């Protein structure tokens, strides 16, 4: 009985966490038009399940690195919401005091080491952090999130090769959302290309799953990592879909680079709706309970936005500081 209750609570938390990311992202989209968040934003709406399915099973001491589309990873890993919004508003309360913007999130207390917008660049850096842990006998995990576009880069292949050679305990999470900006996979990769075979060709285990199912993501992730006794590198590929434009707060369906039917099919597979329905159908969650959570969530998010808006900017002398370390 007790176990069942724990499982139920975990499932609720997974749903809540996905809602949290989505509602934060939609609020960013809403407030973006006020022209106060003056930096590019790559929103994660539609891709919440991967971030939550992975990060919910990480400890604080585990490390995560990401790329340009990092909000979901940061939030799911426990990154401070106030600091993230402060960063988007360019304020000194931001996680990098406004110096980084949306594309350079960091929260070391939460184990979120870095995110950068040069595609592929955090992959070798993540391998390095994982390797350092191994050399320092630190057993915490290291996870790097990457898009399927990043698997085209040279450093991706170099990093896999090194990780396999040195048995680096790195966990690669590839979110395959079919697109790199406006370009579909078919225009970038041969139909005969198999990411699974590329990964396995390096001698690294490859797992594949439905990235819109938080249960699938977490069970595959647990299977792949917890049974990995000699701490070898592992690779997870999850299929998912981005709802909004590549960069910015809007839908971009009018541009017609993807079929309306494709977009609506993926929306029908919404990671939140499908999971919510399951929890309610199974009596794990009631509508009232969810409503109550969402109300609380809404207040948390609005408060964080208010704080970010009210915070001040760094003053001019900070321009010249923290370029070189003491």
Contact set with other proteins (CB under 8 A): 32-33, 35, 38-41, 87, 90-91, 94, 97-104, 116-120, 149-150, 152-154, 180-183, 187-189, 247-249, 255-257, 313-314, 316, 318-320, 323
Query: What residues numbered 116-145 form the site for ligand TPP, per CB under 6 A?
Result: 117-119
**Residue among 149, 169, 233, 271 that touches ligand TPP (CB under 6 A):** 149
3-state secondary structure of 127: helix
**x-marked contacts with Mg ion along 113-132 as a string, rule CB under 5 A:** --------------------
> Contact region for ligand TPP (CB under 6 A) — 115-123, 125-133, 232-240, 263-271?
115-123
**Residue among 149, 169, 209, 211 that touches Mg ion (CB under 5 A):** 149
User: Residue 314 Cβ, how far from ligand TPP at the closest point, in Å?
Assistant: 26
* Residue 38 interaction partner, one of ligand TPP, Mg ion, other proteins, none, beta carbon < 5-8 Å per kind: other proteins
Instruction: For residue 243, give the nearest of 4, 11, 29 by alpha carbon.
Output: 29
3-state secondary structure of 67: coil
User: Residue 14 Cβ, how far from ligand TPP at the closest point, in Å?
Assistant: 22
Q: Does residue 150 interact with ligand TPP by CB under 6 A? A: yes
The neighbour count for residue 149, using CB atoms within 10 Å, is 23
User: Residue 315 Cβ, how far from other proteins at the closest point, in Å?
Assistant: 8
Q: How far apart are the C-alpha atoms of 18 and 9, rounded to whole Å? A: 14
* Residue 152 interaction partner, one of ligand TPP, Mg ion, other proteins, none, beta carbon < 5-8 Å per kind: other proteins
Q: Does residue 70 interact with ligand TPP by CB under 6 A? A: no
Task: Give the C-alpha distances (Å, rounded to integers) separating 198 from 50, 80, 165, 203, 204.
Answer: 22, 36, 15, 9, 9
Instruction: For residue 103, give the nearest of 61, 140, 73, 138 by alpha carbon.
Output: 73
Q: Which residues contact 62 (CB under 8 A, 6 or more apart)?
A: 111, 140, 141, 142, 143
Q: What is the distance between the terminal CA atoms of the chain, rounded to a whole angstrom?
A: 56
* Residue 255 interaction partner, one of ligand TPP, Mg ion, other proteins, none, beta carbon < 5-8 Å per kind: other proteins
* Residue 313 interaction partner, one of Mg ion, ligand TPP, other proteins, none, beta carbon < 5-8 Å per kind: other proteins
Q: What are phi and psi of 113, to 5 degrees?
A: -75, -40
DSSP 211: T
Q: How far apart are the C-alpha atoms of 254 and 322, rounded to whole Å? A: 43
Give the tokens for residue 267.
Answer: 């929306």
* Residue 39 interaction partner, one of ligand TPP, other proteins, Mg ion, none, beta carbon < 5-8 Å per kind: other proteins
Q: Does residue 181 interact with ligand TPP by CB under 6 A? A: yes
Q: Exposed e or buried b for every residue in 32-66, given b needs 16+ CB within 10 A?
A: beeeebeeebbbbbbbbbbbbbbbbbbeeebbbbb
**x-marked contacts with Mg ion along 153-182 as a string, rule CB under 5 A:** ------------------------x-----
Measured from the CB atom, the residue of 69 and 133 that comes closer to ligand TPP is 69
Q: Which residues contact 153 (CB under 8 A, 6 or more apart)?
A: 119, 120, 123
Residue ranges in contact with ligand TPP by CB under 6 A? 68-69, 117-119, 147-150, 177, 179-181, 246
């Amino acid at each position: 009985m007790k176990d069942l209750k724990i499982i139920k609570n975990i499932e609720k938390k997974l749903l809540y966490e996905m809602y949290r990311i989505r509602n934060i992202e939609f609020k960013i989209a809403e407030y973006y038009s006020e022209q106060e968040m003056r930096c590019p934003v790559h929103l994660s709406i539609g891709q919440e399940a991967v971030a939550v399915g992975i990060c919910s099973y990480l400890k604080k001491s585990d490390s995560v690195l990401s790329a340009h589309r990092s909000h979901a990873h940061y939030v799911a890993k426990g990154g401070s919401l106030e600091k993230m919004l402060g960063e988007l508003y360019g304020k000194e309360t931001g996680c990098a005091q406004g110096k980084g913007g949306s594309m350079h999130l960091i929260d070391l207390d939460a184990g979120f080491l870095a995110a950068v917008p040069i595609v592929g660049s955090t992959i070798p850096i993540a391998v390095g952090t994982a390797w350092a842990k191994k050399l320092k006998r630190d057993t915490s995990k290291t996870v790097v999130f990457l898009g399927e576009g990043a698997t085209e880069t040279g450093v991706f292949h170099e990093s896999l090769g090194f990780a396999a050679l040195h048995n680096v305990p790195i966990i690669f999470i590839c979110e395959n959302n079919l697109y790199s900006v406006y370009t579909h996979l078919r225009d970038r990769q041969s139909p005969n290309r198999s990411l699974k075979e590329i990964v396995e060709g390096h001698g690294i285990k490859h797992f594949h799953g439905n990235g819109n199912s938080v249960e699938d993501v977490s069970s595959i992730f647990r299977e792949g990592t917890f049974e990995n006794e000699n701490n070898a590198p592992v690779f997870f590929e999850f299929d998912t879909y981005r709802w909004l434009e590549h960069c910015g707060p809007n839908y971009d369906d009018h541009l017609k680079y993807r079929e309306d039917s494709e977009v609506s099919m993926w929306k029908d597979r919404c990671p939140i709706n499908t999971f919510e329905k399951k929890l309610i159908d199974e009596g794990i969650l009631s509508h009232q309970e969810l409503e109550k959570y969402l109300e609380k969530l809404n207040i948390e998010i609005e408060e964080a936005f208010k704080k970010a808006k009210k915070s001040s900017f760094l003053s001019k002398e900070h321009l010249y500081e923290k370029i070189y370390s003491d």
